Every structure is written in structure tokens, then in C-alpha cells.
Chain A
Amino acid sequence: MSHTTTMEGAAPIKLTRKDYASDQDVRWCPGCGDYAILAQVQKVFADLRLERDNTVFVSGIGCSSRFPYYMNTYGVHSIHGRAPAIASGLKVARPELAVWVVTGDGDGLSIGGNHLIHAIRRNIDLKILLFNNRIYGLTKGQYSPTSELGKRTVSTPHGVPDRPFNPVAVALGAGATFVARAFDTDTDHLQAMLRRAHAHKGTAFIEIYQNCNVFNDGAFEHLAEKKVHDERVIALEHGKPLLFGPGKSKGLRFDAHGRATAVEVGDGPGQVPVGAIACHDESVDSAGYAFVLSQLDYPTSPVPIGIFRAVERPTYEQTVREQARKVAPTGARKDIETLWRQGDTWVAGSGGDAE
């Protein structure tokens, strides 16, 4: 559990994000959303005084995957899509380390989709940050598995012909125990999500909407822009009603089949009293409710941000440890010679020792 402990012996001065920055120059394009995410991660680490030496950042390939180079922790910048595989092995081998995975929509959902869903399925205690900018940036602008249908890119001059993945729905479908969504630019909210992910025991998956100002500028401007943000985004808050819109004047209601309808909230004619709007519950045992929320999308519904689901389940590495304790209660290794002598043995000549 040492990843929840703080930096021992450190002077009780306030740590800042600079304490978690490596000496490497950050090389993302000017204006990239990744800067904001890096800053918030470093800020949260500083606030929580997390141990640099017990933390490992693992990434694959892509713009987001440069992330480990900029964190003053242990880190592996690996190969395309495979970060969850390395991170899983590392975490199972060394459960006392805090292991964070940084990936993108191409890295995590296309070439590495299989590893992502299986890491989530096993509920290995990894913190997975998926930076979703809906484009391949490092390879210069091809469409990604989260690009919108019909989008024109260098590889789809006639428009994207395939329907996009919804990362939150993918994670929920894989049985994720913690799923959240945040914006790169909404720093306070992003910090809150990172703190909750850190505190979660098990795979914590955060989709972070992120702008690529070079190849997909304005990727989420239709949601992030101030004028429309309240109307088009609904912030999920545990125990609070599903309200959105200017002054939280609207609410969501669901029919028996999970179809959402936006209603005016209030006590006036044609309005629905706030008490009749369902309260968000991130701890619902079944993933069905969270999945219904995950289907809310622009332009037919407001897009949810916040924590869709947070439930406790045994982690893979806990189960493995418990199995190990059963076969080796003291933790001491059995004598190798017992292993050599398994099964039938016999002695030849005079040099053999008696059985």
C-alpha cells in the first residue's frame, strides 16, 4: 500500500508540480492539451506528496506516450499499444508499486485494444489515463478509432466510414470498476478525477478529452466552449440529481429502456420537480446504469463527465497473493531439491544417495 504513503523524511514544505518534473524538455506542440494534463498530474502528485521512487509511469507510442519522460518517477516508454501489458506484469510482480498507464485513442483503443480490455477485466490496480483527441497526431493526422463518422482526414478523404468507439463504454463493457471522463482544460475537475483514480483499488480508467491543435483543432470545442458547455455537458456527482443546463435548470429522466429525455426542472407548469430527477449513484453494482449514461452523446443528449462507476472488487494481484499465501504461508521458498526429486527416482552406481 506504499503508493498511498507520502514522501518519508521530506521536509514538511509544500511540494509543487516542479518536484515531479524531470529534467527533460517537454516536446509536445505548443498549445497541445497534453501540457495541461501533465500539469494536473504533477499538481495532484505534489498535493498528495506521492513517492516518486515508488511510482512507475508506463506508456506506449503516440504523442501522449511521451508522458513518462516528463515525470520525475520511474518510467517506461514502450511500444505501440502495449503499455497495459508491461504495466500488468510489473504490477503483478511488484504490487507495492504505484503503476500509471498513459495512452491515447489510437494506442489504447486501436493497436492496443486487446491489452486494454484485458487489464481492465482483471482489475489490476493500474491507473489508466486515455488521452482522447480523436486523431493520430504523431503519424500526422489519420483518423483514429474515436474519430467521428464521416470525418475527412489524410487517410479518409471521402470521410471516415467506420463508427467510433466510445472509450467509456468500452471500459464498462470490459468490466471496469472505476470509469471517469474529464476535459484537459477543466483543471479542477480533472484533478478531482485523478485523486479519485489514485484512491481506487483496482483498474481506474479515465478518458480525458484532449485537444490536438495541429491535426484536430477544436476536437471537443463543441462541448468545451463556455457558451454551450452547461447545455451540452452534464457533470456526474455521486448522490446528486442528474442536472445540467444554465443554472442546472434541466434534468435527465430515463424510460424503462434506458432512453434519456431532458426535462425542465422546477415547480412550474410543464416542469419536473427536482425530487423526481434520479440521483447519480456511481456505486451501482451492475454496470448497466453506468452503461446507459455512457450512451449519452452530443447532439442528442448532454455528454456526461465525472465518475460513471466506482465499485470495489478484488484486484488480480490480491488474488494471486492470497493464492501464494496458501501454498507458502511463511513466504519462504521450498527447497529446490524437493522439486528435483519429484516423482520416481532411482539410484545407479555407487555414487547415488539412498532414497
Chain B
Amino acid sequence: MTTQSPLSPTGAGAPAGGPLPTQPKNRSVAERESVVIRFCGDSGDGMQLTGTEFTRVTALAGNDLSTLPDFPAEIRAPAGSIAGVSGYQLQFSSREVFTPGDQPHTLVAMNPAALKANLADLVPGGALVVNTGAFTKPNLQKAGYESNPLEDGSLARYHVHQVDVTKLTALALKDTGLSSKEIGRCKNFFALGLAFWMYNRPTEPEIESIKQKFGKKPELADANIKAFLAGYNYGETAEIFTESIEVKPAPIAAGTYRNIMGNSATAIGLVTAGHLSGLDIFFAGYPITPASSILHELSNYRAYGVTTFQCEDEIAAIGAALGGSFGGQLGVTASSGPGIALKGEFLGLAVSLELPLVIINVQRGGPSTGLPTKTEQADLLQALYGRNGECPIPVLAAMTPADCFDATIEACRVAVKHMTPVLLLTDGYLANGSEPWLLPKKSDLAPIEVKFRTDPTGYEVYERDPETLARAWVRPGTPGLAHRVGGLEKDALTGNVSYDPVNHEVMCQTRADKVARVAQGFGKLHLTGPDHGELLVCGWGSTYGAIAQSVELARAEGRQVSHVHLRWLNPLHRELGALLKRFDKVLVPEMNLGQLVKVLRAEFLVDAQSFTKVQGKPFTVSELKARIDQLTSQKERS
């Protein structure tokens, strides 16, 4: 049904000046368990800000949530073009949320291109809010519409709310003295206000946030607050939304929370590892999407014992980080696939020098420059094998945005304990997605033990700890321990250059054993469901949310399906092989063309099946569920 939205006779400017709408009258509120909403518009429309602001207040309201920003690789593609469409989706719920949601229930489209690019995802019967002010002939043409979809009946499947956001914002701000260009930039806050009304969010925290955000330009703060309230009041006044929707707080674990994006959790995890180890963090990086924000964030944390160094290229970044580690700090670098490719030779040197080093790959679509702003898991085999020689490196992956914190600390812990480079895989979906993060308590986090050797008596550079096979870490400046290390093969004890054939084999085997022994420190496998049955879904990394939810749905139908999610990709968990063999079928969903499945088949001789997606987008719950349904029989629950 298409609803026309007449302007309220008083004009939209009027409510903006009125009292704060904290107690709307005559509100009919419907309760929902979960809502998926997507804001989309031109990249210049400020949709990322709209999305993050809505998310912030939703988190404060106590909902569990998950977000997925989706923006173009171009900074500013031509205005109004499909290429320039930017979107932000979030799911919030009164119960546990695993993903940003398959399909939005509500789509806010600020221009025709945004409508065209996003409409297919909206659930039939979903609410569609369109900014009619942007549906001009030139914009329709740029979006490739031959006729105006608002008029040709093509939107009949949806609950359409036509709102002239452009005009209403202009009316609300006509007395502010701002230029029409500046007024145009406030549209997103009108849309945000409207969304706040629709989902019954409190306005006060947002007004405070706008004041803070635009603190230096009070006239812009005032204008945005006016636009925001105009949008909110419009929702209340215009009588086009018959009811607003309430999503009650989720019963999540007790504690203090904040909303956190994956890259932020990674950065804070690194600083926390510095706290737990007492080591200074030396982070060297080179700008690359979608990893750069780790560098940005860490550069603000100098007072927490972090030094950041923006290098001339990716190679220098890992080199400088390794130099920091040789110097006795914890060297860290972060990049994405193309940058990791450049770092490959240095990864080999780090393996040879046996120094701690943490390398973070925020994966994106490949090959080559690929899809810089889209997500993918196609760098797994690069992480496991992408180097010359026998060159084992521990590899782990984060599962959710907040889990990037834990995974990062784990990476640092292993790097220091085992004197090895460690590769941490996250991806664009985790990096830019967000969810509530339960703040840790200091007492919950075990210290990271660091032992610098200071005793020169009997020092041999490659003498090893009998348990971990790690060699000793010596800070330059330590009296009597001056020594040389290098990338040439070295004697298994003294570290002096050695071309001895048997020694080389011993060293290759020892380096492999050392990495294999990392598995001694693993906790339990992350298993949901029984440890045997019809189907095991085995995933890794950011597919966690979608797999967890689809498995939960299938189990609720009585299907015999379990889910194991791998924290470590190298070495593999010592119980994994036996677990895989206790199921009739194994399904391995991955956002690549089947990489983990190759490893599992090779390592364990199991007939694991692959389920893949390489569209730059995460799996949806429904597509995973459909695959699970095909592979399992529905039984009565016992």
C-alpha cells in the first residue's frame, strides 16, 4: 500500500520550536522482538553518521545489536549515482543478536539511487521511507529509473512513507541564517529524528550528543538539533505512521557495556596486551582500507604506552615493527590482503629471527585491489602458506566485532610466550561492524608473562625453552649479551650462520614443532550442540554470527546440527579431527571459494563439504539455514 504524506498544514517548522517531545500523546506502541533497519543515501548525505547515532542510542537503551556499514570505495562518487550510495544497517533486539540481519524491515532511502540499490533487500510489506525531495528528474535519470517509482506502482509491495525530507528540513531551518548548502547537510538529522520516533528512542541523549559533536560550531549544533526534532515531531504529527515500535532491552549478561566496532576493539586489545605484559606497544603501519582506523585509534593512545609509526610503505611497516620487537617492545603491524602480500618476506624473517610480532590482516575482497570496502575471508591460505620456505606462523581469527578484543590479546600472548610472529585475521565486516561490548574486569584478564634474559652465563642465542621451544628474548643494551641474528639459516644452538644440511632440517622441524606446541595452550573448542550427530557446521572468523543463528534456528526445528567455530587456524585444535569424524556430514561455510575446507580435508581426511559466498557481503542467516535444511532431516525433538 502506498501512503501519500501531505505536509502538515502548520508546516514542519512549527513543531521544531515546540516543547521537547519526551511524552508524546496518543502514541500507539507496538512491541517487537527484533528490528532490522537500513539507512541509505548518497555518500554526501551523512548516512554513516545517521546509522552510528541511531546505534549509539539503541545500545544505551539496552538492546543487543549488530551493525553493518556499507560504503563505496570512492570517497565521493558522482552525487546521485548508484556508485555513490552509502548504507548503514543495524539489527537490534530484545534477545541475543548474532548478525546485522538478513533483510531490513525498514528502509530509509534518501534518493532514487539509494532506493534502486537497496530495495531488493527490503522484506515484502516492509516500511519504506523515501525522501521525495530528492526524486527529481535528473536524480531519477542518474539512478537509471525510466519512470518515477513513487508514481508507477512499482512499490506496491511495501508500506511506503513519502516524506519530503529536503523541503521539511529547509522549512525547519529557514530562520537559522544558514546557507542552503549547510541546511542541505542537516537532512540526515531529520531522517534520524524520524527513525527515533518510529522506534521510540529517547531524544535527550541524542541532543546531548549533537551538542558535543558540534561543540565548536554552536550554530550547526542548533541547526542539527532543530532538524532532528523536526523529524521526530513530524513522525508524531503527520499521522502517517500509525504506531511506533518498541524493542525492549535484551537480557544480556550483567555488567557495564559500550558499543564497539571491530577495529576499535582490536586497537584497545593491543593497548590492553601492553598493560597485561608491561611491554610498550610499537605499532608501525601504512594506510590501507579497511585497516587504517587501527592506526588512527592507536595514535591517540600514547599515554597508554603506545608508539605509532606511519611508514613509507607496507614493507617498512612490518620491518619497523620487527625492529621494535628486536628492541624489546611488542612490535605490531596491521594491513589488509594487498599489504600482507608485500609483508611476506618480512614474515619469513620474523620466523627466522624468532621474535614476537603481531600482524593483523583486516581482510577485504580480492584479488589485487579487489573490493577495498567489502568483506571477504579469502586470505586464509595466504596467512597459512603465503611465504617462501617452510615458514610456519600461528594464525587465529576473530569472530565478532567485540571478540576482536579477546582475539588480539590472545595473539599478543602467543607471540610473546612462543617468540613467534602471529597472524590475526579479522575482516571488513568485523572492522566496521559494531555490537555491545561487555567491559572486562581487570581481574578477569591473566597477565602476559615476559621474560627478558639478562644472565650472560652460558647464553646460546637459539637455546630453547624445553616446553614451548621458544628462544630467549634479549633486549639490546643488556650487558654481556650482545649477539647477532639474521635471515640466513643458523646453527640450532649458537645461532651462527650454518649451511649444514642436517642442521637445516633440524631447524625447519623445530620451527614447525614450536608452532604446533602453541596448541597446548588452547582452551576448549567453541562447540554448540552435541559432539556427534548428523551435521557439523565448521566455521571460522566473522561468519560466526550467521552460522550461530542459523544453527540455532535449525536445532529449534529438531535438526541434528552442531556448530564448531575455530579460533585457531594454525595450529588446529588437537581435538578437532576426532570431532569432525563423529558427524555424518561436515559443512564448511566460508566467504571465499573454499579454503578452510581444503585444509580440513587434507589434515583429517574427512569428506567436508564447502559452502561459499564471495559477494563482498556476509552470509545471510536464511541462506545458511536453507543449506543446513538440505543436509539434515527434520526430527521430532526429544
Contact = CB atoms under 8 A, between A and B. Distances in A.
A322 to B, nearest CB: 11
Given A79-B349, A85-B319, A115-B316, A94 B488 contact: no
B483 interface: yes
B481 to A, nearest CB: 7
A155 interface: no
B256 A118 contact: no
A85 B256 contact: no
Interface in B303-336: 303-305, 307, 309, 311-313, 315-317, 319-324, 326-329, 331
Contacts of B284: 89
Contacts of A351: 253-255
A350 B254 CA distance: 6
A115 B484 CA distance: 22
A114 B302 contact: no
B62 interface: yes
Interface in A33-75: 52-56, 58, 61, 68-69, 71-75
Q: Tell me which of A89, A94, A327 has the highest count of chain B C-beta atoms within 10 A of its own C-beta.
A: A89
Given A53-B477, A353-B256, A88 B309 contact: yes
B459 interface: no
Interface stretch (B2-10, B267-275, B420-428, B567-575): B267-275
Contacts of B480: 53
Contacts of B479: 53
A134 B315 CA distance: 25
A102 B435 CA distance: 49
A85 to B, nearest CB: 3
B217 to A, nearest CB: 21
B389 to A, nearest CB: 13
Contact of A89 (B255, B324, B481): B324
Contacts of A22: 484
B302 A328 contact: yes
Given A68-B484, A339-B301, A345 B439 contact: yes
B356 to A, nearest CB: 13
B326 A336 contact: no
B59 A346 contact: yes
A29 interface: no
B190 to A, nearest CB: 23
B476 interface: yes
Q: Tell me which of B59, B282, B304, B312 has the highest count of chain A C-beta atoms within 10 A of its own C-beta.
A: B312
B271 A336 contact: yes
Given A53-B478, A76-B353, A82-B315, A92 B309 contact: yes
A334 interface: yes
A96 interface: yes
A109 interface: no
B67 to A, nearest CB: 15
B371 interface: no
Contacts, number: 208
B496 interface: yes
B346 interface: yes
A267 interface: no
Interface string B462-495: 0000000000000011111111111110000000
Contacts of B311: 85, 88, 118
A94 B328 contact: yes
Contact of A77 (B302, B328, B488): B488
Given A115-B312, A349-B252, A334 B439 contact: no
Interface string A96-139: 11000000000000000011001000000000000000000000
B497 A69 contact: yes
A247 interface: no
Interface residues of B, number: 69
B440 interface: yes
A96 to B, nearest CB: 7
Nearest to B282: A93
A12 B442 CA distance: 52
B210 to A, nearest CB: 14
Given A78-B349, A346-B59, A88 B256 contact: no
A355 interface: yes
Contacts of B205: 344
Interface in A321-343: 323-324, 327-328, 333-334, 336-337, 339-343
Contact of A320 (B307, B317, B327, B481): B307
Contacts of B323: 58, 76, 85-91, 93
A299 interface: no
A352 B307 contact: no
Interface in B278-317: 280, 282, 284, 301-305, 307, 309, 311-313, 315-317
A62 B440 CA distance: 50
B532 interface: no
B99 interface: no
B257 interface: yes
Contact of A54 (B328, B439, B477, B486): B477
Given A89-B327, A351-B254, 10 more contacts: A76-B323, A78-B349, A79-B349, A82-B315, A85-B317, A87-B323, A89-B321, A92-B320, A344-B56, A348-B253
11 contacts: A55-B482, A76-B484, A86-B322, A89-B323, A333-B275, A346-B59, A347-B257, A348-B62, A348-B255, A349-B251, A351-B253
Closest 4 CB pairs of A and B: A349-B254, A77-B486, A89-B320, A89-B323
Interface of B: 56, 59-60, 62, 205, 249, 251-259, 268, 271-272, 275, 280, 282, 284, 301-305, 307, 309, 311-313, 315-317, 319-324, 326-329, 331, 345-346, 348-349, 353, 439-440, 442, 476-488, 496-497
